[in-house]
Chain A
Amino acid sequence: MKHLIIISISFCLLSLNSISQGSIPAVDVKTMDNQSFNTGEISNDGKPIIISFWATWCSPCKRELNNIADLYDDWVDETGVKLIAVSIDDSRNASKVAPYVNGQAWDYDVLVDSNFDFKRAMNVNNVPHTFLIDGNGKIIWQHNSYSEGDEYELYELVKKVANGEEIRH
């Protein structure tokens, strides 16, 4: 009996894994100018979307977003990708988000998730955590933490998604 259960659980998890392409949950967050925004409205006209969770106090997050910023114009030209940087700064640091983003001259769409509702709904343990969403709004890839050069792997995947290719896990 025990074995049967273990086998069926494994089977179940495997089948879940093969269809783990979730959609973006609809949660209320704020834009940088303090307007309400529902994450269910995230879209990019059928083109790929990157959602990157970060914070003003997180060094690897800032390294990741700064490194992508150097390449972002090319990425957008070549694939039409849009990056949404979701800050999880709480009310201690939320007012520093806009000055930081503009001070760095980032061209990303920025959302502020001060009480971690979106972070929770996306099952993020810690930042940085990056998701890739395909043209149908399905989450097809995610990555936790950042190492120098991770952006190259991400961009390879973005190109595949933009060309309508399958991504293998």
Chain B
Amino acid sequence: MKQTLTTLTCLFYFFLATFCQNHNEANIGEIHGNFETTNQYYNPDTAIGAPNVPEKLLSSSFANILYSRGNFNAGVRLESYLNVLQGIDPSYNDVGIPYRFVTYTMDNLNVTAGNFYEQFGSGMILRSYEARQLGIDNAIEGTRVKLNPIKGIYLTGLIGKQRLFFDRGPGIIRGLDGTISINELHPRLDSITTKISVGGSFVSRYQKDDDPTYNLPENVGAYSARLNLNHAGFSFTGEYAYKINDPNSSNNFIYKPGQGALFSMGYSQKGIGVSVSGKMIDNMDFRSDRTATLNNLTIGYLPALSKQHTYNLAATLYPYGTQPNGEMGIQADLVYTIKKKSKIGGKYGTLISVNYSRIQSLDKTYYSDASDPDSTRMGYTTNYFKVGDEVYFEDFNIDITRKLNKKLKVKAAYFNFIYNMEVIQGLGGKGTVYANIVVLDVLYKLQPKHAIRVEAQHMRTEQDQGSWMTGLAEYTFSPHWFIAVMDQYNYGNKDEGKRLHYPIGSFGYTKGANRFMISYGRQRAGIFCVGGVCRNVPASNGVTLTITSSF
């Protein structure tokens, strides 16, 4: 055993020495990577509901290593969860290399073997992606071929299984996608200011039917068609998707087909931008395992049609999450800059942004004739010309940013939320939350590289945990240092014993692409979202050390 180890070590050393030597001389390619480690020491804190963590210290880390030489690329990701941080699925419980790939590009052909991420159109019927902070990684493992036969035509074909923690899901995904960019087809078309592209996708999942009760489709197909149009400052993008019957855990094993439609229209020119978008989703939960739940093995991605907020109280208490089994929604967004040096705009101009979104249920009629099991297994019918009565979510928000002088910048924001907890979080009996939030954000530059930023936030609500206040002060010294303190206070909780403070302090150092951050204090339980997908983070109390690096 020892001998083998020594031999291996010698070989490794030899490889390393040769590699390093060659690296400086010939074109042996480039190696790059990035690294992140998050380590948290947990104190039990019964007052805020922070559980006792038996390991005391939890640690999640990963490192990507990419190698490229000419048209050849290869990469691996090492991941380590010892054990995984609270709030991320504990099925991440190992150390390993769950991501590795090789890619080769030759003229108009690109081939990938191994793990890869891919998105067809807006992603409604296929999007494999990673959101590491949420513990989401549904990379496909298999083969992908991209072909660009003539200018303006892009084709992608893929086959594979999806990642599930340190394993793979049971279903096989087959996908085809094509995009035609009309303007690229001919040099004459290229000069036209109207840009048009059309696309279509087909995705099919195979999963064996071993259900004792139902006769389930083993091959479930989904297709979509899309159109993009741009002319001067106008833009339109729309996509329609259809999925054949796919009885699954999410839709309660009904045999109804699924449908989805998304559109977005916008107009913008210097100083003003507006957009209006709409969406309808009906029974579109599509996964590579029909019994999968949570964020696991999703093939399709159904984006939430609402603004993604950044201020603590607006972002983490009541954020919307898409209801894959049915919803209809609209959103409107305006960004406007009042001109510099004008009476209202002031010396530096004033930025106003307004956003509104509202999401309601579908108008569904359920089959209820128990004597006819065939129809009840279809679930329901949908009237697409009518919006359902139940309000899931509404958000009206406005913010105004103004630079008063060289040193002072002020931002004020207002939010009004309607949040149906029963539907969005699946918490029966919790009802709907009505909340108003105001935020004042002031940035003062002491010197060109020294700045203090202060945030004061207030949320008023009668429901759920009642009203909150948040105060934050942040001092930055460019380019290396920052220090911040924040306190959240649930002063309006009906339960007086829960009127608690959540103080936390953070300190960070950045040099180039290396970043160190340490924080100590209480973290409130909340919903942490990235790109519209969320996870519940439990309350915690302790020290967190994060290091990120890229090279």
Chain A positions near chain B (C-beta within 8 angstroms): 1, 4-5, 8-9, 11-12, 15-17, 19-20, 22-23, 25-26, 33-36, 56-59, 63, 70, 89-93, 95-96, 98-105, 114-117, 120-121, 123-126, 129, 141-145, 147-150, 152-153, 169
Q: How many angstroms between the C-alpha atoms of A4 and B12 in the bound complex?
A: 11
A153 contacts across to B, CB distance below 8 A: 478-479
**Contact across chains for A129 and B513 when beta carbons are under 8 A apart:** yes
Pick from A19, A25, A90: contact of B23, CB under 8 Å: A19
Answer whether residue B213 sits at the interface, using C-beta atoms and an 8 A cutoff: no
Chain B positions near chain A (C-beta within 8 angstroms): 6, 9, 12-13, 16-17, 19-20, 23-24, 30-36, 64, 66, 68, 73, 105, 117-119, 122-123, 127, 129-130, 154, 179, 181, 183-184, 195, 197, 228, 230, 233, 235, 237, 262, 264, 266-275, 277, 301, 303-305, 308-310, 333-337, 348, 351, 353, 443, 445, 447-451, 453, 476-479, 481-482, 508, 510, 512-515, 531-532, 548-551
7 A-B pairs closest in CB distance:
A99-B273, A103-B335, A149-B478, A92-B303, A149-B449, A103-B273, A148-B451
Count of A-B contacts judged by CB separation below 8 Å: 216
Q: How many angstroms between the C-alpha atoms of A83 and B77 in the bound complex?
A: 30
Give the residue among A9, A70, A89, A145 with the most B Cβ atoms within 10 A: A145
Q: How many angstroms between the C-alpha atoms of A100 and B334 in the bound complex?
A: 8
**Contact across chains for B532 and A92 when beta carbons are under 8 A apart:** yes
B195 contacts across to A, CB distance below 8 A: 33-35
Pick from B130, B237, B308, B513: contact of A34, CB under 8 Å: B237
A142 contacts across to B, CB distance below 8 A: 512-513, 550
**Contact across chains for A91 and B337 when beta carbons are under 8 A apart:** no
**Contact across chains for A91 and B122 when beta carbons are under 8 A apart:** yes
Q: How many angstroms between the C-alpha atoms of A36 and B155 in the bound complex?
A: 13
**Contact across chains for B269 and A102 when beta carbons are under 8 A apart:** yes
B275 contacts across to A, CB distance below 8 A: 95-96, 99
**Contact across chains for A92 and B449 when beta carbons are under 8 A apart:** no
**Contact across chains for A115 and B118 when beta carbons are under 8 A apart:** yes
A116 contacts across to B, CB distance below 8 A: 117, 129-130
20 interchain pairs (CB within 8 A)?
A12-B19, A17-B551, A20-B32, A25-B73, A33-B230, A57-B308, A91-B122, A92-B305, A99-B334, A100-B273, A102-B273, A104-B337, A105-B337, A125-B549, A147-B477, A147-B510, A148-B443, A148-B476, A149-B447, A169-B512
**Contact across chains for A99 and B268 when beta carbons are under 8 A apart:** yes
CB distance from B152 to the nearest CB of A (A): 9
Q: How many angstroms between the C-alpha atoms of A12 and B13 in the bound complex?
A: 11
A98 contacts across to B, CB distance below 8 A: 235, 266, 268, 273
Pick from B30, B264, B303, B513: contact of A22, CB under 8 Å: B30
A89 contacts across to B, CB distance below 8 A: 531
B237 contacts across to A, CB distance below 8 A: 34, 95
**Contact across chains for B337 and A125 when beta carbons are under 8 A apart:** no
Q: Contacts A92-B304, A123-B550, A153-B478; is A99 near B335 (CB within 8 Å)?
A: yes
A125 contacts across to B, CB distance below 8 A: 34-36, 548-550
Pick from A15, A70, A129: contact of B20, CB under 8 Å: A15
CB distance from A105 to the nearest CB of B (A): 5
Pick from A9, A35, A36, A144: contact of B513, CB under 8 Å: A144
A99 contacts across to B, CB distance below 8 A: 266-268, 273-275, 333-335
Q: How many angstroms between the C-alpha atoms of A107 and B512 in the bound complex?
A: 26
Nearest CB to that of A59 among chain B residues?
B310
B269 contacts across to A, CB distance below 8 A: 102
**Contact across chains for A9 and B270 when beta carbons are under 8 A apart:** no
B17 contacts across to A, CB distance below 8 A: 8
**Contact across chains for A20 and B551 when beta carbons are under 8 A apart:** yes
CB distance from B337 to the nearest CB of A (A): 6
Nearest CB to that of B265 among chain A residues?
A95
**Contact across chains for A148 and B351 when beta carbons are under 8 A apart:** no
B550 contacts across to A, CB distance below 8 A: 123-125, 129, 142, 144
Q: How many angstroms between the C-alpha atoms of A12 and B23 in the bound complex?
A: 9
Nearest CB to that of A151 among chain B residues?
B478
CB distance from B305 to the nearest CB of A (A): 8
**Contact across chains for B532 and A148 when beta carbons are under 8 A apart:** no
B64 contacts across to A, CB distance below 8 A: 120, 123
CB distance from A167 to the nearest CB of B (A): 11
